[in-house]
Every structure is written in structure tokens, then in C-alpha cells.
Amino acid sequence: MLSSKIKNYEFKNPILVASGTYGYGDEVKDIVNVNSLGGIVTKSVTLLPREGNPPPRIAETASGMLNSIGLANLGVDKYIEDKIPSLNKLKTNIIINIAGSMMEDYLETLEKLESVNSKHIGYEINISCPNVKEGGMAFGVNPKITEQLTSEMRKITDKLIIMKLSPNVTSVEDIAIASEQGGADAVSAINTVVGMGIDINTHKPKLYTNFGGLSGPAIKPIALANVHKVYQAISIPIIGIGGIQSSSDVIEFILAGADLVQIGTLNYKNPNIGVEIVEDLKEYCRKNKVDNISDLKGQLKYYDH
Amino acid sequence: MKIYSEIVTVVSNERIADNIYEAFLLSPKISQCSHPGQFINILPSSNWNNIMRRPMSIASQSDNKISIIYKIFGEGTQLMSEWKKNDKVDIIGPLGNKWFDYENKYPILIGGGVGIAPILNLHNYLSKENISNSLICGAKTRDEHFLDHSPKKNIFMTTDMHDFGIKGNALDALEIILNDISLPIKIFACGPHGMLKAIYDYSIKNNYGCQLALETIMACGIGICQGCTIEKKCSEDLHTYRNKYALACIDGPVFNIEELTDAF
């Protein structure tokens, strides 16, 4: 009813959790049955450890939040040593998010992850972090470089390659097409939207880096528009991301053209939200006599123009 | 340490001082395993439209109950002040580390404003364990205090207005009571940043051991979002993680001042 496939990898349901909002799955193990999810995308890992940006790094906004973490993470060697063993024990799909600043960073990180005994089924490639000068954003705004990076990675792995797209571009379709042409198995959309907040008492920006990434329900309409544009442009699967907080939000993304979705910021409010949405989706399918939720993909009915 | 996601029942929720409330929550799981210094992450109401929960220090844990002490500051605490007996509240906890190393020195506990919550928890714990200690509570005004000034019990009040208890701020009070203490001391403090900074400087200058429970903006409370950074002293190695920027939620909220830069 809820299952779907990307290439030969089966997802038991379309609910994944977004990179950076679920750590490595072990942080929530006491309070969530992580294995009920369709998959986990782990926090961006880079070749070397990173401290990330100085504080303040987060701020609350209307129906969302701004963040500028700066890819703080333990680095790929420690990831392999500390996180892979516990991730291997999970009975859900593991997708490793990789970030970098140069082509070689991505490729070397990928090679290291390919060489270990791990159950992960693929990689989500962060070419769209808005918060680090060298955070891959140069890749995510340039179709040529996106295609080159994708095809270089394709030579290294047969596992899934999912390119994570930024909404902070003139044409998200061009980057999606470049990903497809480079050999990506899927794209995920969207990463956070560039935003800003200002403290009127101190006249300071609410984030140390001035600008940050806006996430949460505030960006859902932007995400839906981007997913639908991408759907019209490419034929590989799409993973929809942006402010999802209910099963009806998930249905909207699927109708817009998504195969799977990721839940992000709402995990902070309710770490169990993904599991709850899976149950709600089953109920939706029963009520609406939907045999396979994937039948709804792109089934948007346009007005007659 | 195990954490719980618990739907707790409000036992009481009362105004105990000017704009300050104390809520007791029936929390069979968290109350069994929480320690002074730890906190819970609260969903102020079931139709809370904000993204972030509100982290609050645990002020007590006993008889299947925990308590929190909070000041109405914004929308979240306003909603909390409207909790009624038997309301259900969604909390996650216990989170963070705890006060530690209070055995070998004479503990002086200092709480400012609602920063008193984790301090009171430690005070009650130490008193129960028969570890003598002194407690200093600072507030802006007399109306914000909910404890009695009881020098005989080593409990001292101060206010910014100098109209209650010891005349002066919390640090002035500390200097006054130090005259009567012959043992080596250690300071445990929680409160507004200005007060903590003064205590930090004073402790460094006088070479006193000191722990601070720090408050930052926080989203997840469990080490995922990386938002609640506290700047630590560290060697200038370019490629490290949580060496320079610790996380208040899992590396804290309690830090030894030796670990911190003065920009904490």
C-alpha cells in the first residue's frame, strides 16, 4: 500500500527523515521506533570534522526556523568508526548525506564510505547548503558542475545517488536535469530557503552569519512549487522536502510529483511525527480506496487553460 | 542515560511570585531517573504552532512528580501559565548532564531569577544528603522572591533594588557570607548572563571551583540540531567537532568554568 522503489531498493513507506533533523538515528532510539520509517538520511558528513559556525546558529520564525549550523559534524573517519555500527543494526533504509567544498572532498568521502562494511543503500549529496561559503553551494547553482560531480560519483558507486537541490537558484529544473544527465538515481528537493531575522533591540541579525536557511511549514508552498517544476522536467524519482507536518502534506507532495518525502524541522517538535504520519497514510489509503500510494504521483489535475 | 517522551498530568500550576509560576507534573518515568541540573523539553500546548519546544530546568523530582519554575516571558510561558489541574502536557526528558563534584568542598549555590530552579533542586538534594551548603537567591525585586530570607538556615535573599535580605547583589552576598565559612568553597550557579559572567570572573580571580548551568536557544534538546552552542576553550585545531562549540543539550547544561571562554 505504502511501499515504493528507487532503482532496486525498496522503501516500506514513503516517509524518510531529513538530514540534520535526526542525527544518526541513535539519538531518538529511546522514544521512537525508528524502524517504522521508510528511511533515515543522516546528518551531512564531510571529509574532515567541522566545528561549524559560531553562535547564534538558530532562530525561531513564524511557522518555521532559521538555521546556520555550518555543517558541524564529526568527519567521515569518525562517522565510519562510531556511527556505521549502530546504523547497521537498524531495520530501515540508511542514506548517508555527504557535503564538501571541492569535488575531491565529495569523491574522497564517498570512496571511504564505499570501502566499509555498511548496510546503507545510498547517498544524498548536499550541493545546496546555504550556510557555508564553501558548502557546496557553488555546485548546486551550476548545472555543468552538478552534472560533472554526479557523473564522477557515479563511477565510484552503484548505490543510490540522490542530488539534494536548492531553491535558491534561478532554475531548479536546470539543476535537476543536470543531475539526471550525470546519472543520479533521484533528486531531493528542497534544501532550506535563504532567510534572515533581525533583533530590533540590538540591531543585530538573529544569526551570526547574517543569513541562514529557513525551514518548517513556512516553506511548504515553495517546496511544492519546486517539486512540481522538477517533476515536469525530469523522469527520475523525486524526494519532496519542506515543512511536512501531516499525512495531507505528504499527499500534496506526492500529487505534485514526489515519490518519497522527508520530514525535517517538525522532528524537533515531535520526534515521533514520521511514525505517526505512516499510520495516518495507511488510514488515508484505506478510506480513499488507494491501493498504492505511488499511484498518486503527479496526479495533479490542472485547470483548463 | 535513557530519555522518555512522556504525556504528563498537571498536578498544580500556581503563581508563586510576581509573574513567576511553579508547576508540578505527574511524571512517573522522568521523575524516577532525573537528577539536579537536568531539564525537560516542553510542548507548551497541543496546538502549539511554533517549531521549538521550550527547555526548562527540573526544580524537583519526588513522589512520581517533577516540578518546574518559570516566568511568563513570551507566548510559550503564557500558555504554560494557563495549564489547569489534570491537563495533559507533552514533555521529553530527562535531558542534559547534572551538577557534579560537590562532595569535597563547601557548596555555595547561587540562583538568579528563574535560574533558581536547578539550584533549588541541588539545594534540596544536598540537604537531603546532609551535605551542608549555602543558598543565595537573587531577583530584580522583592516581589519576585518566593523563599524566605533565613540566614540561620544559610538561605539568603538579595534584590537589585536592595530592599530585601542582604543589601547588594548576589556577589555582594557571597562576599559577606564567605566571612563565616572557613572551608574551601565551590560555587554552583544559574541565572541571567550578567550575573553568571560576574560569578565567572570572580571565581577565576579567586581561584574558586565553579559550575554554571547555561541557557541558550535550543530546538531538539537531544544533540541533533546543533543549535545550542556554548563556546569552550580549545586548542586551535582547525578540524575538530564539539571541541570549540559544545552543545548545551548534551555536553551541558552544566559546565565547569575551566572549560569555558569568557564569551560563554
What percent of chain A has pLDDT above 90? 93
pLDDT of residue A72: 95
Same structural domain, B91 and B134: no
Query: What CATH number is attached to the domain comprising B207?
Result: 3.40.50.80
The bridge status of strand B54-57 relative to strand B39-43 is: antiparallel
Same structural domain, B133 and B232: yes
pLDDT digits (tens, 9 = 90+) for A77-106: 999 999 999 999 999 999 999 999 889 999
CB neighbour list of residue A96: distance below 8 Å, 6 or more residues apart: A41, A42, A45, A79, A113, A120, A122, A123, A124
pLDDT digits (tens, 9 = 90+) for A213-235: 999 999 999 999 999 999 999 99
Q: Which of B4, B48, B52 sits opposite A30 (nearest CB)?
A: B4
Q: Please tell me the distance from the alpha carbon of residue B45 to that of residue A99, in angstroms, as a whole number.
A: 37
CB neighbour list of residue A179: distance below 8 Å, 6 or more residues apart: A146, A147, A150, A163, A165, A187, A234, A236
Domain residues for the domain of B197 are 106-259
A30/B3 touch (CB, cutoff 8 Å), yes or no: yes
Q: Please tell me the distance from the alpha carbon of residue A280 to that of residue B264, in angstroms, as a whole number.
A: 44
Which of B44, B67, B95 finishes a domain?
B95
Task: Answer whether B106's CB lies under 8 Å from B133's CB.
Answer: yes
Question: Chain B interface, mutation test: which of A61, A207, A269, A273, most B Cβ atoms within 10 Å?
Answer: A269
pLDDT of residue B237: 72
A129 annotated active-site: yes
Same structural domain, B124 and B84: no
Q: Please tell me the distance from the alpha carbon of residue B47 to that of residue A89, in angstroms, as a whole number.
A: 35
What percent of chain A has pLDDT above 70? 97
Same structural domain, B199 and B226: yes
Contacts of B245 in chain A (CB under 8 A): 51-52, 54-55, 72
Q: Is B106 left (phi over 0), alpha (psi -120 to 50) or beta?
A: beta
pLDDT digits (tens, 9 = 90+) for B138-193: 999 999 999 999 999 999 999 998 989 999 999 999 999 998 888 999 999 999 99
Contacts of A267 in chain B (CB under 8 A): 220, 224
What percent of chain B has pLDDT above 70? 100
The backbone torsions φ and ψ at residue A261, rounded to the nearest 5 degrees and listed phi first, read -135, 165
Point out the catalytic residue in the list A28, A129, A238, A254: A129
pLDDT for residue A135 is more than 70: no
Task: Answer whether A68's CB lies under 8 Å from A214's CB.
Answer: no
pLDDT for residue A134 is more than 90: no
B245/A72 touch (CB, cutoff 8 Å), yes or no: yes
Same structural domain, B132 and B255: yes
pLDDT, averaged across chain B? 95
Label residue B102 by pLDDT band (50, 70, 90): confident
A31/B92 touch (CB, cutoff 8 Å), yes or no: yes
Q: Please tell me the distance from the alpha carbon of residue A184 to that of residue A13, in angstroms, as a whole number.
A: 21
Which of B39, B67, B95 finishes a domain?
B95
Q: Considering its fold, how many domains does chain B have in total?
A: 2
> Is B135 part of any domain?
yes
pLDDT-wise least confident of A31-35, B33-37, B259-263:
B259-263
Same structural domain, B83 and B150: no
CB neighbour list of residue A86: distance below 8 Å, 6 or more residues apart: A24, A25, A26
Task: Answer whether B93's CB lies under 8 Å from B41's CB.
Answer: yes
> Is B264 part of any domain?
no
CB atoms within 10 A of CB A25: 21
pLDDT for residue A207 is more than 80: yes
B217/A267 touch (CB, cutoff 8 Å), yes or no: no
Domain locations in chain A? 4-296
pLDDT for residue B30 is more than 90: yes
Task: Answer whether A193's CB lies under 8 Å from A64's CB.
Answer: no
Q: What do you get for the CA distance between the two ends of chain A, in Å?
A: 34
Task: Answer whether A124's CB lies under 8 Å from A19's CB.
Answer: yes
Task: Answer whether A185's CB lies under 8 Å from A160's CB.
Answer: yes
pLDDT for residue A265 is more than 90: yes
Assess B226–A contact: CB distance below 8 Å, yes or no.
yes
Query: What CATH number is attached to the domain comprising B87?
Result: 2.40.30.10
pLDDT (mean) for B219-244: 91
Smallest CA-to-CA distance from A129 within A120, A118, A138 is with A138
A58/B217 touch (CB, cutoff 8 Å), yes or no: yes
Q: Which of A27, A48, A74 sits opposite B224 (nearest CB)?
A: A27
Smallest CA-to-CA distance from A40 within A301, A282, A260, A292 is with A260
Smallest CA-to-CA distance from A253 within A212, A211, A289, A219 is with A219
The backbone torsions φ and ψ at residue B220, rounded to the nearest 5 degrees and listed phi first, read -75, -35
pLDDT of residue B182: 87
Size of interface A-B (CB pairs under 8 A): 107
Assess B51–A contact: CB distance below 8 Å, yes or no.
yes
Residues of B numbered 127-186 whose beta carbons fall under 8 angstroms of chain A's beta carbons: which are they? none
pLDDT for residue A300 is more than 80: yes
pLDDT for residue A138 is more than 70: no
> Is B148 part of any domain?
yes
pLDDT (mean) for A43-71: 96
Assess A269–B contact: CB distance below 8 Å, yes or no.
yes
- If one looks up domain A4-296 in CATH, what number appears? 3.20.20.70
Chain B's closest residue to A243, CA to CA, is B51
Q: Which of B48, B51, B231 sits opposite A265 (nearest CB)?
A: B51
> Is B49 part of any domain?
yes
Residues of A numbered 64-83 whose beta carbons fall under 8 angstroms of chain B's beta carbons: which are they? 64-65, 67, 69, 72-75, 78
Q: Please tell me the distance from the alpha carbon of residue B28 to that of residue B38, in angstroms, as a whole number.
A: 16
Same structural domain, B137 and B201: yes
Same structural domain, B177 and B244: yes
Assess B244–A contact: CB distance below 8 Å, yes or no.
yes
Give the residue ranges of DSSP H helices in chain A. 76-78, 84-88, 103-114, 137-140, 143-154, 172-182, 220-233, 247-256, 266-269, 273-287
pLDDT of residue B264: 85
Same structural domain, B110 and B240: yes
pLDDT of residue A153: 97
Assess B49–A contact: CB distance below 8 Å, yes or no.
yes
Estimate the crossing angle of helix A220-233 against helix A247-256, to 10 degrees.
Answer: 30
CB neighbour list of residue A258: distance below 8 Å, 6 or more residues apart: A14, A227, A231, A238, A239, A240, A297
Q: How far is A232 from chain B (nearest CA, A)?
A: 32
pLDDT of residue A132: 62
Question: Chain A interface, mutation test: which of B5, B45, B51, most A Cβ atoms within 10 Å?
Answer: B51
Same structural domain, B134 and B252: yes
> Is B101 part of any domain?
no
Assess B75–A contact: CB distance below 8 Å, yes or no.
no
Smallest CA-to-CA distance from B192 within B127, B115, B245 is with B115
Same structural domain, B28 and B120: no
B225/A69 touch (CB, cutoff 8 Å), yes or no: yes
Label residue A305 by pLDDT band (50, 70, 90): confident
> Is B13 part of any domain?
yes
Same structural domain, B128 and B188: yes
pLDDT (mean) for B112-125: 96
Calculate the CA dihedral of residues A224, A225, A228, A230 and round it to 10 degrees: -110
pLDDT (mean) for A172-200: 97
Q: What is the DSSP letter of A302?
A: P
